[in-house]
Amino acid sequence: MRTQIAIIGAGPAGLLLSHLLHLQGIESVVLESRSRADIESTIRAGVLEQGTMDLLNETGVGERMRSLGALHHGIELAFDGARHRIDLTELTGKAITVYPQHEVIKDLVAARLAAQGQLLFEVSDVELHGVETSRPSVIFRHGGEACSLEADFVIGCDGYHGVARPAMPEQNLRKDFQRIYPFGWFGILVESVPSSDELIYAQHERGFALVSTRSPTVQRLYFQCDPSDRTDNWSDDRIWTELHARLENRDGWKLKEGRIFQKNIIGMRSFVSTPMQAGRLFLAGDAAHIVPPTGAKGMNLAVSDVWLLARGLEQFYRKGGEELLNSYTADALKRIWRAEYFSWTMTRLLHTFADATPFEREMQRAELENIVSSRALATSLAENYVGAF
């Protein structure tokens, strides 16, 4: 098999890249290790920045997002028993849409299949070859057969645990940056109506909590937990008691309960691997960087990486130029480091660190007070939250 671009991974990065390339007349094949049903049902991110919404709309895959997603103009920060609204639209002129990542995946898979795009699901034993030459290839197994795909470029969109990053040549020249946090997030999906019109990010001495939504009948809630804890240790009663305690406030607002139908625990890390390219291999999305979820940036960063790559590949094929491809790592890292900084700041601001001194806890509270009482600081938070493309 031969194609122009071999894409490993059908997450938001891989599928959107394939879609953007198709719109420019560039052919690609996407190789995914999981089944279509699996990628279309895995619960992950929920928040789309303005730039992500605009790109999905402009490239013809925003229809379901516009009808099923919830457009939000603000978020709330809760601490010391009170809620404080950050008016994103008034402060920045932009908004966000709460629309589940797996719905974005469904929209992109549908668009690729409608355009006769090549998506191979349930591939295994993926190996990259010759990425330092101009004829790279990927070998893999599919439907019980050994297959080989030759391409001009290989793009690793296969997430943090994928095979592309370890296959980068010159591993000795790589520089990785990492921070692992001493807590995780316990996430639940609940059958109920929304408790709030907007997302609530709550700081509490018992730990962080987040009220988000999925639809008018399904809600998404998270709370800080021990990353090595197990979901079996948490009965529904214990979860509700914890959430009520962390989200309680003095204005009479109440969290609505419902049937919990999914529980999961995720660890939290900040990670950046550089460079994001070597020869004919490029990395995009979680394959190259991870943010803790507090800033809602992960999927949005994957989108902005592939937008840059699509521009670079378009320049290569249309004009024979390689400037944009050559500057991909530098261009992408500018936004990535800002998002890393924002995600780290939000994490530090809102979580309870077991080893924090009483002085450090007061500093955390004072920082929150500063943000909600200063238009300048609230604007800075809002600008970062809605994102800059």
Residues contributing to the site for ligand DHB (CB under 6 A): 45-47, 98, 199, 210, 212, 220, 293-294, 296
Binding of residue 266 to ligand FAD (CB under 6 A): yes
Known catalytic membership, residue 328? no
Binding of residue 194 to ligand FAD (CB under 6 A): no
Known catalytic membership, residue 72? yes
d(CA 200, CA 348): 16
Query: Which entry of 19, 22, 72, 204 is annotated as an active-site residue?
Result: 72
Rank residues 53 and 302 by Cβ distance to ligand FAD and give the closer one.
302
Give the type of residue at 265: I
d(CA 66, CA 58): 12
Residues 6+ apart with CB under 8 A from 246: 202, 204, 206, 207, 208, 209, 223
Ordered alpha helix ranges (H), the chain: 12-23, 36-39, 50-58, 63-68, 88-92, 101-114, 236-247, 298-319, 323-326, 328-350, 358-373, 375-386
In this structure, are strands 153-156 and 5-8 parallel, antiparallel, or unpaired?
parallel
Known catalytic membership, residue 385? yes
Q: Which does 300 bind (CB under 5 to 8 A by kind): ligand DHB, ligand FAD, none?
A: ligand FAD
End-to-end CA distance of the chain: 35
Known catalytic membership, residue 182? no
The binder of ligand FAD chosen from 5, 6, 7, 9 (CB under 6 A) = 9
d(CA 14, CA 59): 15
Q: Which does 239 bind (CB under 5 to 8 A by kind): ligand DHB, ligand FAD, none?
A: none
148-177 footprint of ligand FAD as x/- string (CB under 6 A): ---------xxx--xx--------------
Min dist CB 341 to ligand FAD, Å, is: 16
In this structure, are strands 124-129 and 137-142 parallel, antiparallel, or unpaired?
antiparallel
Known catalytic membership, residue 84? no
Binding of residue 286 to ligand FAD (CB under 6 A): yes
Q: DSSP character for 338?
A: H
Active site residues: 72, 201, 293, 297, 385
* Binding-site ranges for ligand FAD (CB under 6 A): 8-14, 31-34, 39, 44-47, 101, 123, 126, 157-159, 162-163, 187, 266, 285-286, 293, 296-300, 302
